[in-house]
Amino acid sequence: MKKFLAMLMLAALLTTALAGFQIALAEGGTIVYSIQGDPEEMDPGLNSYARSSLVLQNLFKGLYKFASDGKSYVPALAESCGVSEDGLTYTFHLREGLLWSDGSPLNAHDFEYSWKRVLNPEVASRAASDLWILKNGQAYNQGAAAQEDVGVKATDDLTLVCELETLAPWFLSMTATTSYMPVKKDVVEGTEAWTKSPDTYVSNGPFMLKEYSSLSHLLLVPNPNYYLADEIQIDGVKIVIIPDKATELTAYNNGEINVSDELSPDALKQYAGSDEFFTSGKIGIQYCDFNCSLPEFSDKRVRQAFAMAIDRQAVLTVLGLVEKPVFGFVPYSQPSLTVEGASYRDVAGDMFKEDPAAAKALLAEAGYPNGENFPVVEIVTKNDNEQKLMAQVIGEMWKANLGVEYSITTYESAVYWDELESGHFSVDRNGYTCDYVDPSANLKIWVTGSNASENQWDDPVYDGMFAEAGKITDPAEREAKLIEIEKYLVDQMPGMPMYSYEDPYLVKPNIKGIVKNPIGHIYFEYAHFE
């Protein structure tokens, strides 16, 4: 096993750059940044993808936004917000004179339309569950209530009233996420291809789309109609597509890009400790879904055995990552609700252990001694070198520790998610970064009907426990309830937690004001050149 891991590590480190890949560096005050592929979704109301969010967060703006510290939330398109005594009604007062990038007026009715559009079952947005917190949001999304019953109403052009289903202390932070950002009704309903061309693309954020060439680049330029347009200090952001981390490092070293956050092991070695290297903890984890609809994975003992048979630190070492192994479903970056300066993870502690011997015994107890008669485990992953390598490493660990055989199936990103939703896998590689800072954000994705997990696991007990937590206002009681919920989730193990995200990135010394929020999105709104 050690020899195998060493060989894999060597192979990973020897990955060569894509031959002949070149980038023309934009001149002047334009920041050049790279992502690994085309944004999966350019419509914020349909978006649930991390890569797309990196782009959309700079093109659109919601009622609230992240401040320049990257941690706190401040009013954006909302000038102020009042909250009812019972904590269930939020009244937003929008700024006067708000405009879309095409110069037309933007008002509270745009928000009402956009939020109800996300929840509309005919739209089938992957982000719909983010808005279930609205009164009757889930019921409407699932066909059990009418659109007019949803708890969002523009009472005039500048006033938006939101009624919540349950208490949500994090609700203001949710309004900074892409699913809560507005889209322009006549643009969206005017053509299905409105997101495909800068000529038809209308946004409302600090930047607007100037160029979009698939598999090449996007050019974002300052939006003159943004409410803080005078404060934007750069000429634009050129986002180039570099699918390979080794190539991205070469581009950064050559000065072809000046902001990089897809770092290879070589990049970490070269820049760690330098004034160009930064890290930011993300409120998310990497995990693997088990397809709980399959007979072999319908038994929680099997799922527990597979989770216990993995050496997570060895996986991270092979991949050359700076992440931290995690033994629960909430990452280290989520703060405690009760202990100042501590993480929720510190308070809750580890909830399971790696133990190959115990895992093997548990699998035998489930009827598969030494992996006998266990179906071949199909590990499904994106067509990405790092993801394929991780699939191979964990597959070999399962083979060595449990005696099971495995296969690896790869798909391009857009197809990958369709295959998972169709249940065409045994185990997948998945990950989730929360939309708001609260431990409940990591636990909600396992609620029945959530679009964030593809494990085919439905558990009314878990759903009920999570609903109960939403009624608790006392922080200590609430944290205790969330710990109870997580313990139950770990016992059921519908997915296999792997590691807690740490987010390293590089910025050239002449660029200041790059902000990365806990979700992992880079904001260029505050950036400037020295």
Local confidence pLDDT in tens for the 530 residues of the chain = 544 444 444 344 333 333 334 444 444 599 999 999 999 999 999 998 889 999 999 999 999 998 988 878 899 999 999 999 999 999 999 999 999 999 999 999 999 999 999 999 999 998 999 999 999 999 999 999 999 999 999 999 999 999 999 899 889 989 999 999 999 999 999 877 999 999 999 999 999 999 999 999 999 999 999 999 999 999 999 999 999 999 999 999 999 999 999 998 899 999 999 999 998 888 999 999 999 999 999 999 999 999 999 999 999 999 988 899 999 999 999 999 999 989 999 999 999 999 999 999 999 999 999 999 999 999 999 988 889 999 999 999 999 999 999 999 999 877 888 888 888 899 999 988 887 889 999 999 999 987 666 788 999 999 999 999 988 888 999 999 999 999 999 999 999 999 999 889 999 999 999 999 888 889 999 999 99
Residues whose CB falls within 8 Å of the CB of residue 318, separated by 6 or more in sequence, listed in order: 5, 8, 9, 12, 389, 390, 393
Identify the pLDDT of residue 451: 61
Residues whose CB falls within 8 Å of the CB of residue 120, separated by 6 or more in sequence, listed in order: 140, 141, 147
- Domain spanning 46-188: which CATH class is it, in words? alpha beta
Please tell me the distance from the alpha carbon of residue 496 to that of residue 82, in angstroms, as a whole number.
41
Per-residue burial over 112-138, b = 16 or more CB atoms within 10 Å of its CB, e = otherwise? bbbbbbbbbeebebbbbbbbbbbbbbb
- Is residue 217 within 8 Å of residue 504, measured between CB atoms? no
DSSP letter at 33 equals E
Please tell me the distance from the alpha carbon of residue 372 to that of residue 289, in angstroms, as a whole number.
22
Identify the pLDDT of residue 407: 97
φ, ψ of residue 287 in degrees (nearest 5): -150, 170
Identify the pLDDT of residue 452: 63
Domain ranges within the chain, ordered by starting residue: 46-188, 282-502
Identify the pLDDT of residue 470: 86
Burial class (CB in 10 A: 0-12, 13-18, 19+), 2: exposed
Identify the pLDDT of residue 25: 46
Please tell me the distance from the alpha carbon of residue 392 to that of residue 381, in angstroms, as a whole number.
10
φ, ψ of residue 69 in degrees (nearest 5): -80, -10
Q: Cα separations (Å) of 331 from 326, 361, 396, 486?
A: 7, 29, 26, 12
Kindly report the three-state secondary structure assignment for every residue of 396-407. Answer: HHHHHHHCCCEE
Residue ranges of E strands in 3-122: 30-35, 64-66, 73-75, 78-83, 89-94
pTM: 0.77
Side chain identity, residue 348: A
- Is residue 110 within 8 Å of residue 62, measured between CB atoms? no
Residues whose CB falls within 8 Å of the CB of residue 119, separated by 6 or more in sequence, listed in order: 125, 128, 131, 134, 137, 140, 141, 147, 150
Residue ranges of E strands in 412-459: 427-433
Only one residue has tokens 């989520």, namely 334
**Can you name the CATH fold of 282-502?**
Dipeptide-binding Protein; domain 3 (3.10.105)
Q: Per the structure block, which two tokens stand in for 367?
A: 């009827």
- Is residue 156 within 8 Å of residue 110, measured between CB atoms? no
Per-residue burial over 505-520, b = 16 or more CB atoms within 10 Å of its CB, e = otherwise? bbbbeebebbbbbbbb
Q: Are strands 495-507 and 277-290 parallel, antiparallel or unpaired?
A: antiparallel
Q: Count CB-CB contacts under 10 A for residue 376.
A: 10
Residue ranges of E strands in 106-206: 152-156, 159-163
Kindly report the three-state secondary structure assignment for every residue of 88-146. Answer: CEEEEEECCCCECCCCCECCHHHHHHHHHHHHCCCCCCCCHHHHCCECCHHHHHCCCCC
The CA-CA-CA angle for residues 416, 321, 70, to 5°, reads 85
- Is residue 390 within 8 Å of residue 406, measured between CB atoms? no
Same CATH fold assignment for domains 46-188 and 282-502: no
